[in-house]
Amino acid sequence: MAEHAIHPPIHLVTHPDEPVRSLEAAAKVIRRHAGDQLDRKAEHVLHQIKSAATLEQAEAAGKAFRAWAEAEGLLLVPPEDRKRA
């Protein structure tokens, strides 16, 4: 897995002071959160992350991770973004 940055970094409720800044870190979050029970969606996102070789693939993997984190209730929305919603 190539080291690709996630921009903008993704803030999670589990570690609000430590945003996820790379695909490698995102993969660790998925594995840690899912444990031994990787569901189909988590497996798919992990596969996207592991196979990201181009910038476009890395961006898509970062977006997939963000969507996964939101679906799992892990996404922390910064206060400035809540005001826009």
| Residue-range domain boundaries for the chain | 5-77
81: confidence class by pLDDT, cuts 50, 70, 90 = low
Report field, pTM of the whole predicted structure over 0.85: yes
- Per DSSP, the chain holds a count of helices (H) and strands (E) of 4, 2
- The answer, yes or no, to whether residue 1 has pLDDT greater than 60, is no
- The answer, yes or no, to whether residue 55 has pLDDT greater than 80, is yes
The residue-averaged pLDDT of 61-70 equals 97
50: confidence class by pLDDT, cuts 50, 70, 90 = very high
80: confidence class by pLDDT, cuts 50, 70, 90 = low
| Burial group, residue 54, by CB count within 10 angstroms (0-12, 13-18, 19+) | exposed
Cis-peptide into 8, omega within 30 deg: yes
The SS3 call for residue 10 is strand
